[in-house]
Amino acid sequence: MPSKTVVLKGYAMTDPSKWNDLKVIEFKPKTFAADDVEVAITHCGVCGSDVHTLTQGWGESKLPLVVGHEIVGTVARVGDKVTEFKIGDRVGVGAQRGSCLECRECKDDYENYCPQSINTYDAEYPDGVVAQGGYSTAIRAQERFVFPIPDEIESRDAASMMCAGLTVYSPLKTHGVGPGKSVGIMGIGGLGHYAILWAKAMGAEVYAFTHDDSKMEDIKKMGADHIVDTGKKDFHKDLARKLDVLLSTRDMFGDKTSLDHYLSMLYVHGVFVTVGLPDADDPLPSIHAFDLVPTGCLLGGSKIGSKKECLEMLELARSKGIKPWIEELPMSQAGKALQDLKDNKVRYRYVLTQDIA
Ligand SMILES: [Zn+2]
Ligand SMILES: [Zn+2]
């Protein structure tokens, strides 16, 4: 195949001191491989990861950098070995665009845990090309990390499922959430709102934990069975040993959170799982063995999700007609969306629509 020089465009950070002042740049896409799919982007959600990366909270990022990993668009090109997609198909790409496909994890449908995973942005390919994200015209990803979007789900609704939706679906599924189980959700933002929607659809009893009065009406409409105001002293006491799973989407802990209070709400062998990733200087609050041993509870994490789980999640959304709570903005307003997200003003996810000519 003759090698074409393709130049893509995206909204990039060029100076971390102006982290959300994004400028259109041209960039070189990854070298096209036989198992790659190129997607012409129509929509991209705005994830907390974008803020942590741009503000350098997770460490120094590459420059210039285009973020965005909740991508939906149409297939524009397929490699010779691609069997699942054809040009024109509507597809999504999430927070991961590649892995080795050969290790134990990849073979066990745990490709999201592959030690050679390639993140959708702020990563580097072995040949030196920098992976740029979805606030852009197009992206190339390995077929394994491209997800077919069912006809019944609109692109604007599918976009934020690619990271936020999948990141909470995976641990809910892994830890057996379903009828007869009680699930607590900490942090009701983009991820947390999906966790409520999915956990209800899976048949569980849902407890939403928030200290934000302005979200309580929304949380009821999302279907939570119980809203727990964490601003109230001793909020955890009535819920001692009630929960089978406690999912934390919080990406900030600070020194005020008493993790022991949360752990005390877990039933025997209950699981606390964090999917939120705070800044590097914000560790989990300290706990003592006394917080774990009396109920045999477990502490863990979860990283995005696999293709298998993504397809299940999309089928759940399709079959039950589940729609996320989103606001759309043109991609040129990504800076505003990022600032609102940093200021906790989003209800509950921004989705950017393509506007680079
Ligand atoms: Zn994300
Ligand atoms: Zn692998």
Calculate Rg over the CA atoms of the chain. 20
Spacing, Cα 323 to ligand 2 middle (Å): 32
Q: What is the pLDDT of residues 86-141, one digit of tens each?
A: 999 999 999 999 999 999 999 999 999 999 999 999 999 999 999 999 999 999 99
Of 212, 213, 264, the closest CA to residue 242 belongs to: 264
- The full length of the chain comes to 357
Spacing, Cα 230 to ligand 1 middle (Å): 25
pLDDT of 2: 47
Spacing, Cα 2 to ligand 1 middle (Å): 35
Rounded distance between C-alpha atoms, residue 320 and residue 169, angstroms: 15
Of 189, 107, 173, the closest CA to residue 144 belongs to: 107
Spacing, Cα 104 to ligand 2 middle (Å): 7
pLDDT of 6: 79
Query: Mean pLDDT in each 10-residue stretch from start to end of the chain (357 residues)?
Result: 73 97 97 98 98 97 98 98 98 98 98 98 96 98 98 98 98 98 97 98 98 94 97 95 97 84 97 94 93 97 98 98 98 98 95 94
Spacing, Cα 69 to ligand 2 middle (Å): 20
Spacing, Cα 291 to ligand 2 middle (Å): 35
Partner residues linked to 186 by β-bridges: 209, 248
pLDDT of 276: 93
Rounded distance between C-alpha atoms, residue 249 and residue 226, angstroms: 17
| Common-topology check for domains 8-160+324-353 and 165-301 | no
pLDDT of 344: 92
Lookup: tokens for 297: 């509870």
Spacing, Cα 279 to ligand 1 middle (Å): 14
Provide the whole-model pTM.
0.97
Spacing, Cα 98 to ligand 2 middle (Å): 9
Q: What is the pLDDT of residues 1-15, one digit of tens each?
A: 445 667 899 999 999
Rounded distance between C-alpha atoms, residue 127 and residue 230, angstroms: 49
Spacing, Cα 275 to ligand 2 middle (Å): 21
CB burial class (10 A; 0-12, 13-18, 19+) of residue 296? exposed
Spacing, Cα 127 to ligand 2 middle (Å): 18
Task: Tell me which ligand sits closest to the C-alpha of residue 277.
Answer: 1
Q: How many Cβ atoms sit within 10 Å of the Cβ of residue 258?
A: 14
Return the CATH class of domain 8-160+324-353. Answer: alpha beta
Spacing, Cα 16 to ligand 1 middle (Å): 20
Lookup: tokens for 97: 């665009």
Contact 245, 172 (CB under 8 A): yes
For the domain 165-301, what is the CATH superfamily, name and number?
NAD(P)-binding Rossmann-like Domain (3.40.50.720)
Spacing, Cα 51 to ligand 1 middle (Å): 10
Lookup: tokens for 321: 């007609």
pLDDT of 60: 97
Spacing, Cα 217 to ligand 2 middle (Å): 43
Annotated domain spans of the chain:
8-160+324-353, 165-301
pLDDT of 4: 60
